[in-house]
Amino acid sequence: LCRELQIQVPFPFSLLCLQVIKCKAAVMWEANKPFSIEEVEVAPPKAHEVRIKIVATGICRSDDHVVTGGLVMPFPIILGHEAAGVVESVGEGVTSIKPGDKVIPLFVPQCGECSNCLSTKGNLCSKSDIDSGAGLMPDGTTRFTCKGKAIHHFVGTSTFTEYTVVHEFAVAKIDSAAPLEKVCLIGCGFSTGYGAAVQTAKVEQGSTCAVFGLGGVGLSVVMGCKAAGASRIIAVDINSDKFAKAKELGATDCINPKDFKKPIHEVLIEMTGGNGVDYSFEVIGRTETMTAALACCQYNYGVSVIVGVPPAAQKITVDPMLLFTGRSWKGSVFGGWKSKDSVPKLVDDYMKKKFVLDPLITHTLPFTKINEGFDLLRTGK
């Protein structure tokens, strides 16, 4: 009987022994309230799922948009989507990842089967939870429980926790030598900004660019424009304290809209001899700056890219002549990268010193000080 039973077990016995893990997580119980450090239960991974021990996670403005209600998600929820960690266990059928692997969770997954994944033109996998905002795993359930209540996931990743569960198509195996506290930024901020320049806009050698917003993503856009060979990179922010870092990473000019009486798009057009910039990037998430970024582009062939997450329930009213004359207006999610394919390559490029990440890291805090981290974000520090 035992021999027959052993033969008939369809997957390794270790998978039958996976246990619920109790760990710390930062739970957001409702909007506009601080994160609460709680003990949560993290269920074992189901078929085609991976449970990850999070080693390092970044704080991104998109997380704060959920806190403030600018990005609508269900509560209670565990936020976080920019991270790196080590695989703790895998569910049945997982073949590409094994326990012990270093990985980066992917808030834009790559299922390899939907029309966007199969197209050379797209990268926003239809399995992504960005559009629906359901806050659940692909099977419609959650792996988190706290105080007897089910806790929602955030864009399939939820990294503000010591352990998380993601689907196999939402995780990328990376170089085992990669420093997780650095490459976690490739999980969102760096890849999103850098890719917006080199992948989405396809900035050209000798071109002129304007970057609205100099947070981590905006600075990564600056780095992408420089890597692509832009001859002039104009950085725009209302916080002049950010200008030194922007110049360090490649900005040639830095301007503060508060220093001018006229609209900022007019200032940029004047700075470029009346032509406007070849490429502009809105990396804030405000409708006013989205339209300003479009208006400052060269009227016939300028390209403007929306990188910042648009605020919920807001609309843009724009003069159609801005587009009729030939300008292009584009959006960019995760820098246009096909995540599962591209993230390991970006990590390899970092290991080969093709770009730097250290300047994007301003503070390193223990997990229990996550609220202090968000205070630093909101005050522009």
Instruction: Give me the catalytic one of 60, 209, 225, 254.
Output: 60
HSE-up of residue 113 (Cα within 13 Å, Cβ side): 4
**Residue 296 appears among annotated catalytic residues:** no
Helix crossing, 370-378 with 61-68: angle to 10°?
A: 90
Q: Which domains does the chain have, with CATH numbers?
A: 21-188+337-379 (3.90.180.10), 201-331 (3.40.50.720)
**Confidence band (pLDDT; 50, 70, 90) for 15?**
very low
Instruction: Give me the catalytic one of 117, 125, 184, 188.
Output: 188
* pLDDT at residue 8 tops 60: no
| Contact status, residue 229 vs residue 208, Cβ threshold 8 Å | no
Task: Tell me how far apart the alpha carbons of residues 302 and 54 are, in angstroms, rounded to a whole number.
Answer: 41
Over residues 207-219, mean pLDDT: 97
**Higher local confidence (pLDDT), 191 or 11:** 191
Mean pLDDT, the chain, as a whole number?
Answer: 94
The strand pairing partners of 25, in sequence order, are 38, 161
Helix (H) or strand (E) holding 90: strand 83-90
**Confidence band (pLDDT; 50, 70, 90) for 365?**
very high
Q: What's the pLDDT at 17?
A: 58
Tokens standing for residue 104: 């980066």
pTM, 2 dp: 0.93
Asked if the peptide bond before residue 76 counts as cis, ω within 30 degrees of 0, the response is yes
Q: Is 231 exposed, middle or buried (0-12, 13-18, 19+ CB in 10 A)?
A: middle
Tell me how far the alpha carbon of residue 68 is from its chain's centroid: 18
Over residues 133-142, mean pLDDT: 94
Amino acid letter for position 161: T
* pLDDT at residue 71 tops 50: yes
* pLDDT at residue 373 tops 80: yes
Q: What's the pLDDT at 16?
A: 47
**Residue 60 appears among annotated catalytic residues:** yes
**Residue 117 appears among annotated catalytic residues:** no
**Confidence band (pLDDT; 50, 70, 90) for 70?**
confident
**Residue 62 appears among annotated catalytic residues:** yes
* pLDDT at residue 3 tops 60: no
Instruction: Give me the catalytic one of 81, 153, 167, 265.
Output: 81
Q: What's the pLDDT at 312?
A: 79
What are the φ and ψ backbone dihedral angles of 154, each rounded to 5 degrees? -120, 120
107: number of Cβ within 10 Å: 27
Task: Tell me how far apart the alpha carbons of residues 154 and 167 are, in angstroms, rounded to a whole number.
Answer: 13
Question: Which of 9-13, 128-132, 140-144, 173-177 comes out lowest in average pLDDT?
Answer: 9-13
**Higher local confidence (pLDDT), 14 or 178:** 178
Amino acid letter for position 112: G
Q: What's the pLDDT at 2?
A: 36
Over residues 110-120, mean pLDDT: 96
Tokens standing for residue 66: 């959920």
Instruction: Give me the catalytic one of 14, 17, 48, 62.
Output: 62
**Residue 146 appears among annotated catalytic residues:** no
pLDDT in tens, 261-275: 999 999 999 999 999
Planar angle of CA 54, 249, 238, nearest 5 degrees: 90
Q: What's the pLDDT at 229?
A: 98
Q: What's the pLDDT at 131?
A: 81
| Contact status, residue 229 vs residue 204, Cβ threshold 8 Å | yes
Over residues 30-46, mean pLDDT: 97
